[in-house]
């Protein structure tokens, strides 16, 4: 991962490259007073073609904002997003990018229009991007998409409220696949589902990836789910990227104190091993993103914090091949 530089040259090995992404929101904090909420602050990462990059962190850390900003649902405050060697900027390139990159929403109950039939929901990208020449081709494509995600084509005339949560999420995935995308942001796609249904949806996403050559950014807060589906995992805290490494490397050798705490909370099915596992409980509360601590954002909850942690923000650097961390103590 390249360090900050004036001119960035895209790497053809990567489908998506994000550089120094920032997303600030103005918040009214008093009479005629506005404070910037730093939801995402200087985040950089790459995603290879056909890869799944997991993005984890506790609620409010900026995971969803990263995904939505990458797709330009929010206009970035600063930074660059490169897709397949092209910089994404408002204009014709953005329209083409939105056909090639899609989003699967977290809540299958609120992300589907209750006034539209399943067929119309799935076909919405086909209509927006004018991908079908006629009605017959449109109907054939709807049947194909519903079959891809394991839905009965006879359900095409029904409405979303007639389906279970898992079936609704399959409808959302079929809609995301309609425009033949290469990249999909999965924004906590299984967090609202029962555990048994979660496994079915995760396995389906993996099958679709192998069949269609998809690339995923998989956003979640469940480390065990992310480890199962991801080749690499990135960890966020309070709008900052604190660690990025291959999934197995991060699982067995976490370096950042926050990642170490997250990994200690993952349940272990072996009772004996679980008893030997030392749980690292963080003290204090997550600081407000309106008042981010100076220096390292994690220092107020870190038991190892030193003087340097309060004075300077740690650089997000590569400490071993493919393993990046932002910590003065590593």
pLDDT digits (tens, 9 = 90+) for 210-261: 999 999 999 998 888 899 999 999 999 999 999 999 999 998 899 999 999 8
- pLDDT band at 275; cut points 50, 70, 90: low
Identify the three-state secondary structure at position 320. Answer: strand
pLDDT digits (tens, 9 = 90+) for 33-62: 899 999 999 999 999 999 999 999 988 899
Q: What value does the CA radius of gyration of the chain take, rounded to a whole number of Å?
A: 21
Sheet holding 232-237, edge to edge: 101-104, 183-187, 215-219, 52-56, 232-237, 240-246, 323-325, 317-320
Mean pLDDT of the residues in the chain: 90
Cross-strand bridge partners of residue 245: 233
**CB-CB neighbours of 27 under 10 Å:** 12
- Nearest to 314, CA basis, from 220, 224, 200, 237: 237
Inform me whether the pLDDT recorded for 329 exceeds 60.
yes
Give Cβ neighbours of residue 10 (< 8 Å, ≥ 6 apart): 17, 82, 85, 86
Identify the three-state secondary structure at position 277. Answer: coil
pLDDT digits (tens, 9 = 90+) for 297-314: 999 888 888 888 988 999
Strand ranges (E), 31-140: 33-48, 52-56, 78-83, 86-87, 101-104
pLDDT of residue 304: 84
Inform me whether the pLDDT recorded for 75 exceeds 80.
yes
Distance CA 64, CA 67 (A): 5
- Nearest to 222, CA basis, from 19, 39, 54: 54
CATH 1.10.3720.10 for domain 14-325, yes or no, is: no
- pLDDT band at 2; cut points 50, 70, 90: very low
pTM: 0.91
């Amino acid at each position: 991962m390249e360090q900050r530089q004036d001119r960035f040259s895209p790497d053809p090995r990567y489908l998506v490259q994000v550089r120094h992404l920032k997303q600030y929101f103005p918040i009214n904090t008093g009479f005629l007073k506005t404070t910037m909420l730093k939801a995402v602050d200087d985040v950089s990462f790459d995603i290879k073609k056909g890869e799944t990059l997991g993005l984890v962190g506790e609620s409010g850390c900026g995971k969803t904002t990263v995904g939505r900003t990458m797709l330009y649902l929010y206009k970035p405050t600063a930074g660059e997003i490169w897709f397949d060697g092209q910089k994404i900027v408002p204009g014709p390139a953005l329209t083409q990018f939105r056909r090639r990159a899609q989003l699967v929403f977290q809540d299958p109950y609120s992300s589907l229009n209750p006034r539209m039939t399943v067929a119309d929901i799935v076909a919405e990208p086909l209509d927006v991007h004018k991908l079908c020449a006629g009605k017959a081709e449109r109907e054939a494509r709807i049947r194909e998409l519903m079959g891809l995600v394991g839905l009965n084509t006879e359900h095409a005339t029904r409405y979303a409220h007639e389906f279970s949560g898992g079936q609704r999420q399959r409808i959302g995935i079929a809609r995301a696949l309609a425009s033949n995308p290469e990249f999909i942001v999965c924004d906590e796609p299984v967090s609202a589902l029962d555990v048994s249904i979660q496994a079915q949806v995760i396995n389906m996403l993996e099958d679709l990836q192998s069949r269609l050559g998809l690339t995923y950014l998989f956003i979640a807060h469940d480390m065990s789910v992310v480890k199962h589906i991801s080749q690499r995992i990135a960890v966020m805290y309070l709008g900052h990227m604190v660690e990025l490494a291959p999934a197995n490397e991060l699982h067995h050798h976490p370096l950042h104190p926050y990642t170490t705490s997250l990994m200690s909370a993952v349940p272990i099915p072996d009772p004996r091993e679980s008893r030997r596992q030392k749980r690292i409980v963080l003290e204090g509360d997550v600081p407000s993103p309106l008042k981010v601590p100076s220096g390292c954002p994690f220092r107020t909850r870190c038991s190892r914090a030193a003087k340097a942690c309060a004075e300077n923000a740690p650089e997000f650097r590569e400490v071993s091949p493919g393993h990046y961390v932002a910590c003065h103590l590593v």
